[in-house]
Structure 1
Amino acid sequence: MIRVAAVGDLHVGEDSAGATSSQLAGLEERADLLLLAGDLTRIGTRTEAALLADELACVTEAGLPVVTVLGNHDYHYDQQQAVADCMRSAGAQVLEGEATTIRLPGGSVGVAGVKGFGGGFVGACATEFGETLMKEFVGHTR
């Protein structure tokens, strides 16, 4: 049996420093893999990503594999490379249109890292937030 912990939309901001670490504490005892499904940061700044990276250290240093993708919030401030670099520096594997296989004592898990924030639920999609191209598209279609 492989135990997978998964969470998305953390939206870590400068005012929420430390809030995630209490949830992550001891996670390596309850899960074999942690998946972070985008919107790691509130507006996609290096500062926000560094805060999350510090909090992730407790599980990555304990040997829990962490795999993540970036979400539209992580692109908003146009510092997505810095956000990804911070996650990598914390020991997380960042997937951007790639796939990986995580080998664990109980078996292997394949993870595909794709983003898809152009769609969603009617009335709750395609906003002028995130990647520059998305902002231009939405601005042009209004």
Structure 2
Amino acid sequence: MLTRVLAGLGLLVLLLVVYGVAIEPRLLLDDKSFEAEIPNLPGGWDGQTVALVADFQIGMWLDNEAMVAEAVEDAVEDEAALLLVAGDFLYHPDSAKADRAVALLGPAFEAGVPVVAVLGNHDYSLMKTHSEERPPIAEYLTRRLRESGATVLENEAVGVPAPGGGDTLYVAGIGSVWAEASDPQAALAAVPEGAPRLVLMHNPESYRGIGGGEAPLALAAHTHGGQIRLLPGEQNSWLDIVRQGEVVADGWALDSLGAPSNRLYVNRGIGFSTVPVRINCRPELTLITLRRSNGSTPTRGPSATADS
């Protein structure tokens, strides 16, 4: 009897590993859609879709290149007016892998979709420690992205014209926390007062440095959603339980983590860290439909319920 129970448990674990390595992360992309209200959003951007991807982690063993390609292609097929990349293109410092990561954005470049990105800690070769050093790979990746047509921001902002030209939406991009380059105020100072904006960062920790009303929609990644969720739904990963109240592993941040009239959404990313497993935590493409806010500042929380 005991032998059968142990054999059954062993089979269950084996099936779970196969699912977590070969099925969920490779075949099941989560196209997460919601609407977001942006104060002073001009007519040319009202109703447009902004796509968000993150954490490619190219170069890790059993990385997830095919799913990155699928996410970018889906963003183009969904007629995204802007593609945001929230960092961690790489897992290890390798120029060939950097070239590959940039090439995966090819469908967006070819379709004329503006691409705006920030770098993550892995893009600076930082896996566990903070450092002010700027390794050559970060400079190389930045150069290759810009040569291909992407805008790479570090505590800067850029105005993105609406499709067809004219109306401008600003993207403020915050630098890497682990690279000691996170300066939210510098990034937001580059946005004209009252101008419609999105705030892009890699690490959600940068969100705490944003003043009230300055980020009607902030977007981050870095956490991978914990890669393993213990229960269905957002913020149910092991990471949420172990560091409850300290981190946002995925989805919408609690009010207590930010200043008034700010909102933060954390994307689960596509790749992996440490082990190539995702269970109940599918790789994510976020599709955000922008809407003009009726008031001077948006209400907290999503203006529409997210769906998959």
TM-score range, shorter chain: 0.7 to 0.9
Match of 2:141 among 60, 83, 103: 83
In structure 2, stretches of 5+ residues that fail to align are 1-46, 127-134, 179-202, 206-242, 248-308
The aligned residue for residue 41 of structure 2 is none
Pairwise CA distance, 1:11: 1.2
The aligned residue for residue 102 of structure 1 is 160
1:33-78 deviation line (CA, Å, top 9, x unaligned): 0000111111243222110111111111110000001011100172
**Residue 90 of structure 1 aligns to which amino acid in structure 2?**
S
Rg larger in structure: 2
Match of 2:123 among 65, 69, 74: 74
1:12-45 deviation line (CA, Å, top 9, x unaligned): 2265344421221252232110000111111243
Task: Name the structure with the higher helix share.
Answer: 1
How many residue pairs get aligned? The number is 124
Of all paired residues, the percent bearing the same amino acid is: 33
| Separation in structure 1 between the aligned mates of residue 176 and residue 139 of structure 2, nearest angstrom | 18
**TM-align CA RMSD:** 2.5
Question: Does the residue aligned with 1:61 lie in a helix, a strand or coil?
Answer: helix
| Separation in structure 2 between the aligned mates of residue 38 and residue 47 of structure 1, nearest angstrom | 17
The aligned residue for residue 4 of structure 1 is 50
Q: 1:110 to 1:22 in 2, by over 3 A?
A: same
| Separation in structure 2 between the aligned mates of residue 50 and residue 88 of structure 1, nearest angstrom | 12
Match of 1:23 among 66, 71, 81: 71
Q: Is the 1:44–1:83 Cα contact (8 Å) retained in structure 2? A: no
Q: 1:52 to 1:116 in 2, by over 3 A?
A: closer
TM-score by structure 1 length?
0.74
**Residue 157 of structure 2 aligns to which amino acid in structure 1?**
A
| Separation in structure 1 between the aligned mates of residue 176 and residue 152 of structure 2, nearest angstrom | 15
**Whose relative contact order is higher, 1 or 2, with alpha carbons under 8 Å and at least 6 apart?**
2
